[in-house]
């Protein structure tokens, strides 16, 4: 996935689009991650200043949500659903196999709402049903 | 000539996009409509063509089948080995009682003309013509209960918000459908988003709210896109905005996207998250109906609850409550998932048995091995063996049986399942997703994992089982919300219904 290179000005430009939003911390962090692929360490202070919150507030939000990343992501983001419905059709083994093959690209997923066609995976935002290592490999960039 | 290829993400997950593209390139002069899925998910991608005798279905279709379909003249409903006949006569679908899901899979999700042609906006127009008190009364009378799992009567919640005095009120739709084995919210949003918008608009008018928010999980990127488009179209149409369909009511609707936290499906954690904060559960009281989003009176309902309202308003409370049993009135959208041969959406009046849904509609397991367990009601629901399959699927009967109906998801497991591992997963998931507010949930879940591990290893099994039950009691009684309070349900039900998996012996069966 292609992301912009982080700079303070670019980050502030993202925040400026959210000026009118009520309760914007989470939205701001999501918007920054969408633009840059992750939340840069200097973003915490930027968001805090911009929305007149404490840095502790922003840090608290950043560390609460699984989606928010603090390191630049790789080229591929693979999630294998490891929740119950997918476990029932072998997702535990699939996750192991996919992790063995693609290592750090693989994140735990908890339900993509595709529970009748599991095991399910999401590769770079595209959903895969009846997933296999091969199907996941094919969907990678 | 119209060809329907579902744009539902479950259908896409098994190749619907490629099928649509292949049909577009092979069949000229036709319109391809990306409808929602009718919910017979094992038949996806299910392609339908409009013929003189109605829609004819084919499925499951892969790209390789397109050539033979064209050769068989499927454009005119020609015979083919994958033909399912007329869509309306497919027994699995025809035998259901679709109320909330009546348009899903049938209409073009984003066509307002289609929506209105299939009964859309009738309920809202009627609501606009009524007094706000009469709308609330109609919803109360219908007996519609919260479909998110708690089953609280929607009308009573609305009445509380309607009676509250405030300069600002909100309608929040909980679309944080994090429970494994549930996908009805997603399918409704992807297949018939206007129904949700209509339900929210009716709720807003009834209680005097002017702003609505749909809290939609980030794991549903397709649903986010479709709902945003639907909101934009509804705006341009004069449905949303300063004057709802020309009336004196104003209503604005926005989406807030979640960020991968399960506990944010709990209503107060969801409010915190919409406010941009950590999704930490709030103590009740105050009730969100009185002090909800940004401290203002707020209606919080699940997608299915709100999406059922248009039907209630269009056809009247009496028609709705004629369905169901006891105090579980109307229909429930069951979701058949996991190791299941014919999974998908089964909408039936409350009171159908587990057996009818799982073996009747579901046709047993996908693997072909015997069913050993089902988990009903999501990750916080109970594990039952087949001895409980005669249980009626309604709120009260499920409680009596030691479980809960929840959001109506049923996950099926075959005999390879190890219930001690499932119990361990319930605790591990709670440890991962606990918001951290209540000690029994935050720490108890980790201790639960450790204790189950000892049982699995055969260390002081009886003592540890007793300890685990004690821990479950503390979590149940000492947690503010359902995360800590109900995690013991899958654990205890697994221990009670499948004691043979908790003996600490590896070769237990």
Looking at residue B30, its pLDDT comes to 85
d(CA B202, CA B122): 11
Task: For chain A, 141 residues long, give each residue's pLDDT as a single digit of tens.
Answer: 689 999 999 999 999 999 999 999 999 999 999 999 999 999 999 999 999 999 999 999 999 999 999 999 989 999 999 999 999 999 999 999 999 999 999 998 999 999 999 999 999 999 999 999 999 999 999
| ipTM of this complex prediction, to 2 decimal places | 0.97
In our burial notation (b when 16+ CB lie closer than 10 A, e otherwise), range B175-191 reads bbbbbbbbbbbbbbbbb
Instruction: Pick the residue of B15, B41, B276, B279 with the most A CBs within 10 A to test the interface with A by mutation.
Output: B276
d(CA B85, CA B79): 9
Taking chain B, what is the end-to-end CA distance rounded to the nearest angstrom? Answer: 57
Tokens describing residue B356: 């009818």
Answer yes or no: are the C-beta atoms of A137 and A123 closer than 8 Å.
no
Judged by CB atoms within 8 Å, which residues 391-410 of B form the interface with A?
409
Looking at residue B424, its pLDDT comes to 98
Count other Cβ atoms within 10 Å, centred on residue B498.
21
Comparing CB atoms, the residue among A24, A87, A89 nearest residue B276 is A24
d(CA B198, CA B214): 13
Q: What are phi and psi of B467, to 5 degrees?
A: -60, -40
d(CA B499, CA B509): 11
Looking at residue A1, its pLDDT comes to 63
Looking at residue B133, its pLDDT comes to 97
**Residues of chain B falling short of pLDDT 70:** 506-509
Tokens describing residue B408: 């109506």
Looking at residue A59, its pLDDT comes to 98
**Chain B residues touching residue A28 (CB < 8 angstroms):** 276
In our burial notation (b when 16+ CB lie closer than 10 A, e otherwise), range B113-144 reads ebbeeebbbbbbebbbebeeeebbbbbbebbb
Answer yes or no: are the C-beta atoms of A121 and A77 closer than 8 Å.
no
Q: Do A64 and B279 touch (CB under 8 A)?
A: yes
Q: Do B338 and A130 touch (CB under 8 A)?
A: no
- The answer for residues whose C-beta is within 8 angstroms of residue B294's C-beta and 6 or more apart is A22, A23, B168, B170, B275
Looking at residue B506, its pLDDT comes to 67
SS3 at position B75: helix
d(CA B60, CA B268): 41
Give the A:B interface size as CB pairs under 8 Å. Answer: 153
Looking at residue A2, its pLDDT comes to 82
Per the confidence metrics, is the pTM higher than 0.95? yes
Closest-CA residue to B182 (of B20, B354, B407): B407
Q: Do B9 and A88 touch (CB under 8 A)?
A: no
Give the alpha-carbon dihedral of B99, B105, B111, B113, to 10 degrees: -50
Ramachandran area for residue B378 (φ above 0: left; ψ -120 to 50: alpha; else beta):
left
Looking at residue B509, its pLDDT comes to 43
């Amino acid at each position: 996935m292609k992301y912009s290179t982080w700079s303070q000005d670019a980050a502030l430009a993202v925040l400026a689009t959210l000026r009118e939003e009520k309760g914007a911390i989470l939205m701001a962090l999501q918007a920054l991650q969408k633009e840059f692929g992750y939340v840069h360490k200097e973003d915490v202070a930027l968001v805090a200043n911009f929305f007149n919150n404490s840095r502790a507030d922003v840090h608290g939000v950043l560390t609460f949500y699984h989606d928010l990343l603090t390191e630049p992501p790789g080229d591929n983001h693979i999630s294998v659903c490891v929740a119950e419905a997918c476990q029932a059709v072998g997702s535990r083994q699939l996750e192991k196999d996919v992790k063995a093959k693609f290592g750090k690209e693989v994140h735990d997923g908890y339900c993509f709402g595709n529970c009748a066609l599991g095991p399910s995976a999401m590769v770079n935002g595209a959903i895969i049903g009846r997933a296999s290592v091969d199907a996941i490999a094919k969907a990678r960039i | 000539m119209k060809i329907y290829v579902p744009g539902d993400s479950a259908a896409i997950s098994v190749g619907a996009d490629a099928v649509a593209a292949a049909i577009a390139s092979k069949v000229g002069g036709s319109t391809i409509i990306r409808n929602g899925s009718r919910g017979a998910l094992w038949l996806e991608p299910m392609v339908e063509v409009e013929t003189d005798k109605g829609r004819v279905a084919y499925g499951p279709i892969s790209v390789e089948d397109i050539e033979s379909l064209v050769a068989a003249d499927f454009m005119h409903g020609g015979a083919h080995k994958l033909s399912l006949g007329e869509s309306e006569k497919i027994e699995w679908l025809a035998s259901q009682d679709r109320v909330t899901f009546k348009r899903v899979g049938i209409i073009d999700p984003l066509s307002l003309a289609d929506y209105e042609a299939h009964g859309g906006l009738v309920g809202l127009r009627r609501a606009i013509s009524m007094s706000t008190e009469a709308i609330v009364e109609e919803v109360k009378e219908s007996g519609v209960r919260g479909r998110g799992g708690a089953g609280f009567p929607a009308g009573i919640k609305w009445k509380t918000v309607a009676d509250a005095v405030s300069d600002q009120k909100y309608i929040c739709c909980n679309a944080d459908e994090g429970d494994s084995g549930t996908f009805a919210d997603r399918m409704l949003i992807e297949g018939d988003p206007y129904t949700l918008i209509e339900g929210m608009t009716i709720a807003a008018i009834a209680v005097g709210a002017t702003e609505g928010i749909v809290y939609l999980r980030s794991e549903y990127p397709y649903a986010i896109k479709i709902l945003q488009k639907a909101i934009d179209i509804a705006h341009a149409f004069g449905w949303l905005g300063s004057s709802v369909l020309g009336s004196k009511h104003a209503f604005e609707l926005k989406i807030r996207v979640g960020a991968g936290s399960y506990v944010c499906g709990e209503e107060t954690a969801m409010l915190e998250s919409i406010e941009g904060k950590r999704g930490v559960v709030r103590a009740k009281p105050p009730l969100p109906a009185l002090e909800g989003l940004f401290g203002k009176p707020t209606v919080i309902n699940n997608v299915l609850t709100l999406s059922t309202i248009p039907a209630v308003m269009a056809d009247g409370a009496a028609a709705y409550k004629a369905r169901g049993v006891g105090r579980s009135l109307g229909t429930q959208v069951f979701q058949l998932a996991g190791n299941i041969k014919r999974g998908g959406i089964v909408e039936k009046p409350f009171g159908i048995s587990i057996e009818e849904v799982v073996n009747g509609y579901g046709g047993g397991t996908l693997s072909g091995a015997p069913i050993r367990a089902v988990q009903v009601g999501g990750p916080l629901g109970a594990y039952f063996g087949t001895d409980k399959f005669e249980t009626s699927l309604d709120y009260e009967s499920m409680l009596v049986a030691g479980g809960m109906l929840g959001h109506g998801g049923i996950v099926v497991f075959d005999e390879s399942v190890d219930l001690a591992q499932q119990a361990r997963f319930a605790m591990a998931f709670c440890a991962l997703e606990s918001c951290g507010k209540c000690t029994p949930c935050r720490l108890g879940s980790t201790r639960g994992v450790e204790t189950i591990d000892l049982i699995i290893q055969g260390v002081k099994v009886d003592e540890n089982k007793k300890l685990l039950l004690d821990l479950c009691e503390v979590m149940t009684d000492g947690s503010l919300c359902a995360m800590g309070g109900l995690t013991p349900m899958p654990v205890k039900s697994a221990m009670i219904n499948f004691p043979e998996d908790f003996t600490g012996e590896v070769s237990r069966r």
